[in-house]
Structure 1
Amino acid sequence: MATTQTPDALLVKSYIAGDESALSVLVSRHQSKIYGFIYSKMADRDIADDVFQDTFIKVIKTLKSNSYNEEGKFLPWVMRIAHNLIVDHYRKNKKMPMLRETEEFSIFNVLSDNSLTIEDQLINDLIEKDLQKIILQLPDDQKEVLMMRIYQDLSFKEISDITGVSINTALGRMRYAILNLRKVIEKNQISLSA
């Protein structure tokens, strides 16, 4: 019988063996993290809901076909499925995801100072808008790692698991993203300070 204390790997085995409740435990255990990841990438909640459902349809099909072999790494595997479905969605629609600035993901919240004047805040907002335009010009793989690291505060291990690349590849993409940002900033003589 599946319980909330049962490890993921055992729940997966139980589900494959026919215990439907094991999948419910897995979904409720990980749904907020998986849905949060999907929603952070999508422009609208209905599409995010669809991708979330499609993710678990694919999870169920894979588990039922006995082709799951992630050896106890259930969450990263599901995140990789979600990531691939998001990429497929944007490929089909030929649209790149927009940067979604929210209160919690604004880079200037980290730097914010309660003594900022309205003028300083306006300058900071303009600088961040310029920075976001530059980020949009990066190659997709570099932009993805940069967004996950800075705006979603994911570790390189999490980025590696979600994107299905090694940690070194994720680190390399981040390094190239920063080098490319520097080149664009220097080439255009952009000042990123207030």
Structure 2
Amino acid sequence: MKLLKSKTDQELIRAYVNGDEMGLKVLIDRYKTKIYTSIFVRVKDEFLAEDIFQETFIKVINTIKTGRYNEEGKFLPWVIRIAHNMVIDHFRKEKRGPTVVNGDGYDIFEVLNFVDENAESKLMRDQVDVDLKKLIQLLPDDQKEVLIMRHFCDMSFKDIAEITEVSINTALGRMRYALSNLRKMIEDHNMTFQFN
């Protein structure tokens, strides 16, 4: 297992194609938080996000097993594109779009793993998380989506642009507006955060 964890995405896919089921498990473990988060931010429902996550990987497995996976592309953006399309398909079937949820609609921080820390710093981080979460929820959906993909999923603007089907400049603009709006809200609420 340790040997597999050091392999590239392409090497893991080849291992899986050659019969090593652990290759896929390592890939899923490597990216599950980012992929789940990309789904959850759109559907805002924990159980629905889990269902779509599973459907996404069924499609990924079928595509890889039938030899239709293109090794030239990056694995993570490819899977997130599949997940994005699954979300769109879900809402088309439901004949409605995703609803805008603010306040306690979802907690992106519950999906992310943090290192162990002492009680005082955990309390401080938890309060910052709660405050920041509330502010992020107040952003327009297009800005919120880019901000979460960039800062919480660590995606490039090129990948964000492809997934959201906009130009890189539009993705950059949405990020700029999101950060500007967050800074203004933080100032209005006399809060202290650091943005890179």
Counting only pairs closer than 5 Å after superposition, residues 64-103 of structure 1 correspond to structure 2 as: 64-71=65-72, 73-101=74-102, 102=104, 103=130
Please tell me the residue identity of whatever aligns with 1:45: E
Do 1:8 and 1:26's aligned partners in 2 also have CA atoms closer than 8 Å? yes
Identity score, percent: 44
Counting only pairs closer than 5 Å after superposition, residues 23-172 of structure 1 correspond to structure 2 as: 23-71=24-72, 73-101=74-102, 102=104, 103=130, 104-107=132-135, 128=138, 135=140, 144=142, 146-150=143-147, 152=148, 154=150, 156-163=157-164, 166-168=167-169, 170-171=171-172
- C-alpha distance after superposition, 1:135-187 (max 9, x if no partner): 5xxxxxxx54x33124x252523312433555246458x49xx7xxxxxxxxx
Q: Partner of 1:3: helix, strand, or coil?
A: helix
Counterpart of 2:13 in structure 1 is 12
Flag the 1:97–1:58 CA change in 2: closer, same or farther, 3 A.
Answer: same
Flag the 1:108–1:49 CA change in 2: closer, same or farther, 3 A.
Answer: closer
TM-score by length of structure 1 reads 0.63
Structure 2 unaligned residues grouped into runs of 5+: 105-129, 151-155, 178-187, 190-196
Q: Partner of 2:5: helix, strand, or coil?
A: coil
Number of residue-to-residue matches in the alignment:
145
Please tell me the residue identity of whatever aligns with 1:38: I
Please tell me the residue identity of whatever aligns with 1:46: F
Do 2:146 and 2:171's aligned partners in 1 also have CA atoms closer than 8 Å? no
> d(CA) in 1 for partners of 2:72 and 2:50?
28
Flag the 1:58–1:51 CA change in 2: closer, same or farther, 3 A.
Answer: same
Please tell me the residue identity of whatever aligns with 2:40: Y
Do 1:9 and 1:71's aligned partners in 2 also have CA atoms closer than 8 Å? no
Root-mean-square deviation (CA, aligned residues, Å) is 2.9
> d(CA) in 2 for partners of 1:108 and 1:164?
22
Please tell me the residue identity of whatever aligns with 1:149: V
Flag the 1:8–1:164 CA change in 2: closer, same or farther, 3 A.
Answer: farther
TM-score by length of structure 2 reads 0.62
Please tell me the residue identity of whatever aligns with 1:96: G
Do 1:51 and 1:86's aligned partners in 2 also have CA atoms closer than 8 Å? yes
CA drift of 1:55 comes to 0.3
Please tell me the residue identity of whatever aligns with 1:44: D
Structure 1 unaligned residues grouped into runs of 5+: 110-127, 136-142, 179-192
- C-alpha distance after superposition, 1:60-85 (max 9, x if no partner): 00001101104251011000000110
> d(CA) in 1 for partners of 2:71 and 2:172?
23
> d(CA) in 1 for partners of 2:134 and 2:15?
42
Please tell me the residue identity of whatever aligns with 1:100: V
